[in-house]
Amino acid sequence: MKTKAMIFAAGLGTRLYPLTQDRPKALVEIHGKTLLETVIRRITDAGIHEIVVNVHHFSGLVKEFLSTHTFEADILVSDETQFLLDTAGGLKFAEPLLHDADHILLHNVDILSDLDLKKMIDSHIDSHAWATLAVRERETSRYLLFEKATMRLCGWKNVKSGEIRQILPMKEELALGFSGIHVVKREILDLIPAGQKLSMTPLYLDLAQDHTINGYMHPEGQWMDVGKYEDVKKLMGDF
């Protein structure tokens, strides 16, 4: 079984402004280390040494960073400079770089955690699910809904708007926050339309009725989304 990884690093980083005034989100530093470097090292520590990084905003700076730093991995760039495709669209765009993988670990560049990635990947492979999403109990405006007994994805709800999308019936609902880390079978690439801007969440919901999409609980340990300026200030203090 061959597992590759893809780091979603193409976002505009508007929520991190002014830190992203002269650099992409991926190169924002936390305690002297860029977010991109932190995620790359987390992935290589899990035993994955082939990584794709997608780029858009300040793409040249990311390419320069990767060319001037050494990692225990072969790192390829999926260049979305011309058109930002979001997560599912970006994954499909990177298909030529991922075609020989059996499974793909997907990791947002602005997620910091100590989640055991290898254990999660092994769980995904053993389950034969099409996708496995890291989730935990936390406060958020948008929840993924799972059947508690099976941890199968059954729906989604937006607390602010009241919108609910239920795909499958649930005996006991479990509403959880998505952690921005997931593992997919390579075959899921065949189910993503090419050339479209598309997020992973609606893709998973579209697929959930006919394909097993599971949640992977990681209730213990550290996890933080540092995609907003206020979140970085919590870690670093006032700039």
Strands 131-136 and 213-217: parallel
Q: How far apart are CA 230 and CA 164, in angstroms?
A: 29
CB atoms within 10 A of CB 194: 10
Instruction: Give the torsion sign (CA, 134, 51, 230, 57).
Output: negative
CA–CA dist 117, 45 (Å, integer): 9
pLDDT of residue 106: 99
Contact between 138 and 66 under an 8 Å Cβ cutoff? The reply is no
Count of structural domains, the chain = 1
pTM of model > 0.75: yes
DSSP bridge pairs for 77: 53
User: Does the bond joining 18 to the residue before it have cis omega, within 30 degrees of 0?
Assistant: yes
Work out whether the CA dihedral 144, 185, 104, 48 comes out positive or negative. positive
Task: State the CATH number of the domain containing residue 126.
Answer: 3.90.550.10
178, two tokens: 């998505």
Structural domain for 199, as ranges: 3-236
Of 113, 103, 98, 96, nearest to 30 (Cα)? 113
Per-residue pLDDT at 92 exceeds 60: yes
Q: Whole-number mean pLDDT of the chain? A: 95
pLDDT at residue 239 is higher than 60: no
